[in-house]
Amino acid sequence: MKIDRTILKSLPLFERMTDADLDSMLQHASPRRIVPGDAVFEQGARAKSFFLLLHGRLKVTQVTQDGQQIIVRMVHPGDLFGFAMALRREDYPGTAVAAAESLVIAWPTDMWPRFVEQNPRLAVTAMQTIGQRLEEAHTRIREMSTEEVEKRVAHAVLRLSKQAGRPVETGIRIDFPISRQDIAEMTGTTLHTVSRILSAWEAKGMVEGGRQKLTVTDPQKLLNLADGIRD
């Protein structure tokens, strides 16, 4: 399979690169199609490659010693992933699993310095990306520290609808299969509690649930709840 450079060029990450540089990057790229449930890489494995998600949706998970799993973050189309740590670490700190049919491009890890050299802006952009992720992580830490479960779930759902929302008749539909378990692992709670919360919201007409489905029907109410505004 060949990848057209125009696809890359449409991404903010690469928009400033010359065609020649892009082509040279693509020479070392190997595309990979991932089916839902399959992993792009596994926690602890040697970091041989770094990746770009072209299409689909991934979740990056970590498991604790006692087997509990958490979702560290979602990967959306256009995101680089599996690279931040590769610079200092030898192994991947988490597992990247496809939540939907996905298409990724893989590059050998040792190509990274060369690409950066070729295009210093890439380094700056990459750094901004990590900086942003760090900030998101801190936001999440703050939420986990101070907010009760319902607010955290509200924030998570809003984030999902922003990053992966597709407008449908009744509202904004999360555009990939997502379970209560997933939401629980993103918010540090149990699927039971998430189920209860979503049921309550559904009764209030804020969301519409379903098996691996979620549609936000009243974003405003959800936002109020997330911001702690009682009604």
- List residues binding DNA (CB under 7 A): 148-150, 179-181, 188-193, 195-196, 198-199, 202, 209-212
Q: Which is nearer to DNA, 21 or 147 (CB)?
A: 147
Smallest distance from a copy of itself to CB 2, Å? 31
Name which of residues 24 to 63 contact a copy of itself (CB under 8 A).
62
Residue 117's CB is within 10 A of a number of other CB atoms, namely 10
Q: Where are the beta strands (DSSP E) in 24-149?
A: 30-34, 39-41, 49-63, 69-75, 80-81, 95-108
Q: Which residues pair with 100 in a beta bridge?
A: 57
Q: Which of 21, 91, 94, 100 is nearest to 58 (CA)?
A: 100
Please, what is the angle between helix 180-187 and helix 191-203, to 10°? 110
Per CB under 8 A, 96 contacts a copy of itself:
no
> What is the torsional sign of CA 210, 214, 220, 224?
positive
111 vs 123 by CB, closer to a copy of itself = 123
Residue 120 touches which member of a copy of itself, DNA, none, C-beta under 5-8 Å by kind: a copy of itself
Residue 75, C-beta contacts closer than 8 angstroms, at least 6 positions apart = 53, 57, 58, 59, 60, 81, 96
Asked if residue 140 binds a copy of itself (CB under 8 A), the reply is yes
Q: Could you give the CA distance from residue 173 to residue 215 in angstroms, rounded to a whole number?
A: 4
- Indicate the angle between helix axes 149-164 and 180-187, nearest 10 degrees: 110
111 vs 191, which CB is nearer to DNA? 191
Give the contact letters, 99-138, x = binds to a copy of itself (CB under 8 A), - = no: --------------x--xx--x--xx-xxx-xxxxxx-xx
Closer of 29 and 226 to a copy of itself (Cβ): 226
| Nearest residue to 219 (alpha-carbon basis) of 230, 209, 205, 231 | 205
Residue 188 binds to a copy of itself (criterion: CB under 8 A): yes
230 binds a copy of itself, rule: CB under 8 A:
no
Binding characters for a copy of itself, 56-95, by CB under 8 A (x = yes) = ------x-xxx-x-x-x-----------xx-xxx---xx-
Taking the complex as a whole, the smallest distance from the CB of residue 52 to DNA amounts, in Å, to 27
* Contact residues: a copy of itself, CB under 8 A: 62, 64-66, 68, 70, 72, 84-85, 87-89, 93-94, 113, 116-117, 120, 123-124, 126-128, 130-135, 137-138, 140-142, 144-146, 185, 187-188, 227-228
